[in-house]
Amino acid sequence: MAENAIEVRELTKAFSDVVAVGGISFEVRRGEVFSLLGPNGAGKSTAISIISGLLRPDSGDALVMGHSILKESMAARRCLGVVPQEVALYSDMSARENLVFWGRMYGLSGKDLEARVDEMLAAVGLAERQKGRIGTFSGGMKRRVNIAAALLHSPAVVIMDEPTVGIDPQSRRHILDHVKELNRQGMSVLYTTHYMEEAEELSNRIAIMDKGKVIASGTRDELVRMVGEQARVDLAVTGEPDKAAEAWRKVTGVSRATVEQGRVAVLAADADAVVPRLFESAAQAGFHISSVDIKEPNLETVFLSLTGRALRD
C-alpha cells in the first residue's frame, strides 16, 4: 500500500508565457486533509487538473495511491474522486439522473448503482430534492450534487477545488462538515481554497501557494511559528494610509507595514510594545489613528509576511 495518498513531484506547467505551476512538490498523507491555500491565479486549479489527469504537465509527475498519473493513468484515476471548480452537471436532468449517469461512467449498475446514489444523496443532504431539475437548483445545491458525483465510486482520495466559493452559508457549512465526516471515515482529502478560515478548520497540513510555487507548508501551527508568531495590527488613519505606512516602517519593532483596502496592516512580534510607538509616530507626523485592531497571528499573517500581500486582494 502506498504510504501517501497523493505525491506531487516537481510539477511544472506553462500556458505560453504564463507559468501557472512552476515546480511544485508536496504529499497528501493517507487519512489526512491537506489544503492548498492561495489567492486567485496561484496555480491551484492547474495543479488539480494535472493530478486529475485532465492536463498534461510540462515536466514532473504525480502519484495517486502510488500510481503515476503519466504511466498508470487509469489506476490513478480509479482511486480519485474530483470535484472541479466549475460545476459539471446536466441542467435539464434531475439530481438523481445526473448521479445515475455519473455512476454508469464509473462502471456501476443495477441495484448497486441505485443504492449508492441513495447513499450519496443522503450524505449531501439532498435526498428530498433528488427529483428536482439541476437547472432549478441553487449554486450550493449544485455543488453538493457535484460532490456526490465525485464520491459515487468510493474513491480512496478526493480532491475538491474551491467547493465553497460563491454559495450560501448553509451549503457551505454542509460541505465543510461533510469533508470532516469523509475524513473521519478514513478518506484522504486534497482541498483547495483561498479562505484561510477553511484551511485552518479542515486541514491536518497546509501548503501555501502563490504565483505557481509552494512558498511554505506544514501544520497551521508550524506555519505560524515560521513567521515568528507575529501579530497583525490593522489601523485606520486620518490622512493618507501610504504616508502612515511609510512612517511606521521606521518604528522599532515593526517588521512590515503595508496598505490593505485603505487601512494600514502592521506586523510586529510584540504588538503591546509597538502600538504606543505607532501613536507617537503618528502624532509626530501629524496624522491621527481612528481605529486599532490587534489580531493574533494566523495564516493570513503568514501569507502577508511571506509575500507582502493579503490573501484576498
**For binding to ligand ATP (CB under 6 A), which residues are involved?**
15, 18, 20, 38, 40-46, 85, 162, 194
Of the two residues 85 and 204, which places its CB atom closer to ligand ATP in the complex?
A: 85
Give the nearest distance from C-beta 55 to ligand ATP in angstroms: 8
Question: Vertex 206, ends 249 and 171: CA angle to 5°?
Answer: 105
Question: Other CB atoms closer than 10 Å to residue 272's CB: what's the count?
Answer: 10
Instruction: Name the amino acid, one letter, at 187.
Output: M
Q: Which of 4, 35, 45, 171 binds Mg ion (CB under 5 A)?
A: 45
Cell of 94: 434531475
Residues 149-178 that bind Mg ion (CB under 5 A): none
Could you please report the per-residue DSSP string of 161-177? ESTTTT--HHHHHHHHH
Give the nearest distance from C-beta 163 to Mg ion in angstroms: 11
Cell of 107: 462502471
Give the nearest distance from C-beta 283 to ligand ATP in angstroms: 42
193 pairs with which residues across the strands?
Answer: 37
CA–CA separation, 299 vs 308, rounded Å?
13
| Closest CA relative to residue 99, chosen from 139, 160, 145, 52 | 145
Per partner kind, with CB cut-offs from 5 to 8 A, the member of ligand ATP, Mg ion, none near residue 90 is none
Of the two residues 42 and 120, which places its CB atom closer to ligand ATP in the complex?
A: 42
| Region binding Mg ion by CB under 5 A among candidate stretches 53-61, 79-87, 219-227, 280-288 | 79-87
> Parallel, antiparallel, or unpaired: how do β-strands 4-15 and 18-29 relate?
antiparallel
Give the nearest distance from C-beta 69 to ligand ATP in angstroms: 17
Give the nearest distance from C-beta 294 to ligand ATP in angstroms: 29
Q: Which residues bind to Mg ion, rule: CB under 5 A?
A: 44-45, 85
